[in-house]
Structure 1
């Protein structure tokens, strides 16, 4: 656990999250920026889904184990079903997808205290309404797709496992299934980053036409719930707990709050203004290209190699994937160094190639 304790301290000092006295965690400024990007990735996932907006709740989504399977009897689910039929009639058939966000003022629904987030918490909820006779097929496919999605953003994809969830005694195993996507930190510690539950609806309250046969039937519902803040903390801890000798935060380039930084080593005292103007120009070019720059001025002017090294260490702990190293040479011939956080190696590129070069990296 000492290894994880060091990671907790590093993430707190870098401004991502902190542990409170009750063992819950709280996101800090950089952590909120990361969470917003994770939410945007979720919104862009499965783009054909009907997005139903955001709702508020005074209770956690899964305040009891049974509630994980009784959501179909809630007024909110009925309201969303009616909204689907009313506002998205072309999507009101099996199979179809619904998405909504739920902000809860109650504490985290995570059963374990490790990485459970303090209130309020945000739940990213996807309901997959499918043909009942293909429910298990869809359920297994969604498990695989979800696991791959989490692995894609991890510095250590082997952490993620599909873990069967034990059903409460009140639940009929013929009509319900459940699994968790768990991020493991050793054999003793794990965090459920996504919860998948399948419920077979009964009766005539909810009916949709089958897209293949046009026959009206009660669908099965596969519900995915991601607790945004807890999942954010798990991914950040994953990026910090990489086992390398270097002290850095290996965040996925898509989710890194800051994609690029600019650092300048001042040389000739007669030219600091020229170097600062050049950094401002590069900052403006990158900003207009849509790249996310480090906070504050967006660049750092360092007086010597030691100060530059210290700045790079701070950038690495912020998870900044690339830093542009500007020098007097850049003023003379337009060449600068592009340093990688992961390899700590730098390559020489021309200033005119910077935006397209970086955009191509982040695109692929």
Structure 2
């Protein structure tokens, strides 16, 4: 097989082939259709992190978790009975599907045997719904930019309005490999169009809550598998297969642990220390990959090979253990993106790592 070249200026199909050769996804390419799409275990970890970031992305509006097994009417009824339903508020759903073809761009489709749509429906006062729609569009674009290697690739499409239903539709898009991908759909649905789904639902407005109105609905929909593929493509296009620059908050593993063995007699001690540090990080909810175990063959792999492996699966930080780690408690903390290492003390973990991951 010819060696794949990744980086700016490559075509979309080459970028997909690079994804296929990554450690995150398996797929086939046939006349613009991406088939047999499967995420590897580490790819599924990335998808799960992306899903969680989507769910907690709105901090300004109260969003309730809904049930995909019931209708919107029943979800609204539950929210009305359980909570104060002052406008605006939202309902989030995850809707599984089977055998869907998702349009990526004008030239490519993603055929998925299984997958999920993440949706969030905001219920908004009709007098401010258009302004609220503009705010949500901007928030969603910024959300994508925040996790991207290349924030400049994202844009908001022109708004289209259906003449009959008066539903306004727009989308968040990304430029990748010469193609424009649609990542999310946003709709502003007038209350008059939602009469059957809302079934007479009214919400309180005003300081005294004396008035009730039927709200407009602003809906966001994202296919989480498509979103995961886009994050992988963005990272590979920016860094290549040798350094998959997935954002530290989305990365499946936040930290890898490797060791440099200067004397074979200290190997088991270093492995014990690595196991201890991995447990410390995991207890602090920092996903850590211990690469020093015998099953990983770390004693036979050079430090460069160990770090290259961690870079290829998007791990943003690596802890390098040496003899001085046993003697003085000193560790080398390496950044994937800069390849620069700094010396920290074992007592700084996990607090220091948590701080740089969350900032």
Same fold (TM over 0.5): yes
Shift of 1:247: 2.4
1:94 counterpart residue number: 87
Task: Please give the secondary structure, in 2, of the residue aligned with 1:53.
Answer: coil
2:232 counterpart residue number: 236
Aligned pair partner of 1:156 in 109, 133, 150: 150
Alignment of 1:9-88 (within 5 A): 9-21=17-29, 22-24=33-35, 25-46=37-58, 48-55=62-69, 76-88=71-83
Task: Please give the secondary structure, in 1, of the residue aligned with 2:281.
Answer: helix
Stretches of structure 2 that go unaligned for 5 or more consecutive residues are: 1-8
Q: Tell me how far apart the structure 1 counterparts of residues 148 and 94 of structure 2 sit (CA, whole Å).
A: 23
2:122 is the alignment partner of 1:131: no
1:66 counterpart residue number: none
Q: Tell me how far apart the structure 2 counterparts of residues 230 and 332 of structure 1 sit (CA, whole Å).
A: 48
Q: Is the 8 Å Cα contact of residues 16 and 233 (structure 2) preserved in structure 1?
A: yes
Superposed CA offset, 1:305-355 (max 9, x none): x62211211110111001111111222222121111001111111122131
Superposed CA offset, 1:110-130 (max 9, x none): 364636251312111111111
Q: Is the 8 Å Cα contact of residues 162 and 168 (structure 2) preserved in structure 1?
A: no
- Identify which range, 118-127 or 283-292, moves more after superposition: 283-292
Q: Tell me how far apart the structure 1 counterparts of residues 293 and 131 of structure 2 sit (CA, whole Å).
A: 49
Aligned pair partner of 1:251 in 242, 246, 249: 246
Shift of 1:219: 1.2
Shift of 1:108: 3.5
Cα–Cα, structure 1 residues 103 and 168, in superposed 2: closer, same or farther, change >3 Å? same
Q: Tell me how far apart the structure 2 counterparts of residues 313 and 296 of structure 1 sit (CA, whole Å).
A: 12
Q: Is the 8 Å Cα contact of residues 15 and 29 (structure 1) preserved in structure 2?
A: no
Q: Is the 8 Å Cα contact of residues 241 and 312 (structure 2) preserved in structure 1?
A: no
Task: Please give the secondary structure, in 2, of the residue aligned with 1:116.
Answer: strand
Q: Tell me how far apart the structure 2 counterparts of residues 54 and 298 of structure 1 sit (CA, whole Å).
A: 42
1:72 counterpart residue number: none
2:6 counterpart residue number: none
Cα–Cα, structure 1 residues 284 and 149, in superposed 2: closer, same or farther, change >3 Å? same
Q: Tell me how far apart the structure 1 counterparts of residues 109 and 335 of structure 2 sit (CA, whole Å).
A: 30
CA RMSD of aligned residues (A): 2.6
Superposed CA offset, 1:57-94 (max 9, x none): xxxxxxxxxxxxxxxxxx82333333332333x1x232
Cα–Cα, structure 1 residues 211 and 128, in superposed 2: closer, same or farther, change >3 Å? farther
Q: Tell me how far apart the structure 2 counterparts of residues 179 and 127 of structure 1 sit (CA, whole Å).
A: 15
